[in-house]
Amino acid sequence: METLLLQNTPQDIARAGKILRGGGLVAIPTETVYGLAANALDGAAVAKIFIAKGRPQDNPLIVHISHLSQWERLVDHIPENAMALAREFWPGPLTIILPKSDLIPDEVSAGLATVAVRFPSMRTTRRIIDAAGVPLAAPSANLSGSPSPTCARHTMDDMRGRIEAVLDGGECNFGVESTVVTLATPVPRLLRPGAVTPEELREVLGELTIDDAVLGKLKEGVKAASPGMKYKHYSPKAEITIVKGKLEQFLRFIAAEKEHAPDVKAFALCFDGEETAVPLPCVTYGRQDDPLTQSHRLFTALRELDEHGAAIVYARCPSTEGVGMAVYNRLLRAAGFHVVLAE
Ligand code: AMP
Ligand code: MG
């Protein structure tokens, strides 16, 4: 199939809406990452998403709405704490999980009794949902296992020939996927960190637990609360090692590694401005003191490392404070949980 590249114009948004209404797939921009969208109420359309991405069947999708009033029909009921979250953070990069209604096909919830819903803030996204006239199920628009795409070119690189169209809405603002919180547990639980931070959620919810899979690796035999958390994710072809420590310690660590293996194509994934100090080819991912610049850059930086043919990557470790938790969570998965402490 030939994949159309649509532009951010009223005509092309109408065209995207028509494809979606007809049961086709369109990759769409959002403020988090590009999403691979289908009509969320059409199980057969949603099933095509899993094929196009090579996504495991047991990994549920997020349903995107363009008006708060669409939420009610998708869930069993909306409790007061869910409404409070919506008032504070919607439209925006927060996904809320609640028990689902009968309208949600099994393909969307992957057989779970719950559904994840998000009301995105990007105007183009909402216009596309409006044009489709239905809520849109959309996971990230990457091939399963690759870094999520944050621009139309990366989306096209992964989806060309697999879907009807990609709509180019420019670069995604946040660059990492939404915060996912479930209210279907006795105490609200953070399943995936994003641009809405645990501190912000606690201010509204009071209590919030953080799922073990957020900052660590799921132990053998433990069932994942969020199925997406158990898969190897965001992986470039290079082998990444996260090096904890100050810049000086990082520099000593890579000097020692280079002595061991002088011939491997090694790169550094470092913060802006560190390139001159680092004796390796560098790809940067934002400012050390600004996690929003890191989230904006991270997935693009991972794809750049592949484009350069990096075999081994030493990565500077981000702070886990605030939005940093989301950056660290994604980098940790890209590194296959390989973290070392530089002395
Ligand atoms: P993606 O946006 O591609 O990363 O995929 C959606 C993420 O939300 C995955 O990590 C899913 O496991 C998670 N998710 C979606 N629906 C649910 C649900 N009902 N319960 C738990 N996690 C969910
Ligand atoms: Mg994804």
At 286-319, the pLDDT tens digits run 999 999 999 999 999 999 999 999 999 999 999 9
Among 224, 216, 175, smallest CA distance to 56 is for 224
Residues 6+ apart with CB under 8 A from 53: 36, 139, 141, 142, 143, 144
Task: Measure Cα distances from 292 to 300, 306, 325 in Å.
Answer: 14, 23, 11
pLDDT at residue 225 greater than cutoff 90: no
Q: How many Å apart are CA 196 and CA 273, to the nearest integer?
A: 27
| Closest ligand to Cα 228 | 1
Quick check: CB of 139 below 6 Å from ligand 1? yes
- List the beta strands (DSSP E) in the chain: 4-6, 26-28, 35-39, 62-64, 94-99, 114-118, 136-137, 165-167, 179-182, 189-192, 209-210, 239-244, 266-270, 282-284, 312-316, 339-341
Quick check: CB of 194 below 6 Å from ligand 1? no
Q: How many Å apart are CA 268 and CA 289, to the nearest integer?
A: 18
Give the nearest ligand 1 atom to 61 CA: 15
Give the nearest ligand 1 atom to 180 CA: 8
pLDDT at residue 222 greater than cutoff 70: no
Query: Number of C-alpha atoms within 13 angstroms, CB side, residue 220?
Result: 0
State which of 25, 53, 61, 150 you would mutate to test the pocket of ligand 1, scoring each by most atoms of that ligand within 8 A of its C-beta. Answer: 61
| Closest ligand to Cα 49 | 1
| Closest ligand to Cα 211 | 1
pLDDT at residue 237 greater than cutoff 90: no
* pLDDT confidence of residue 280: 95
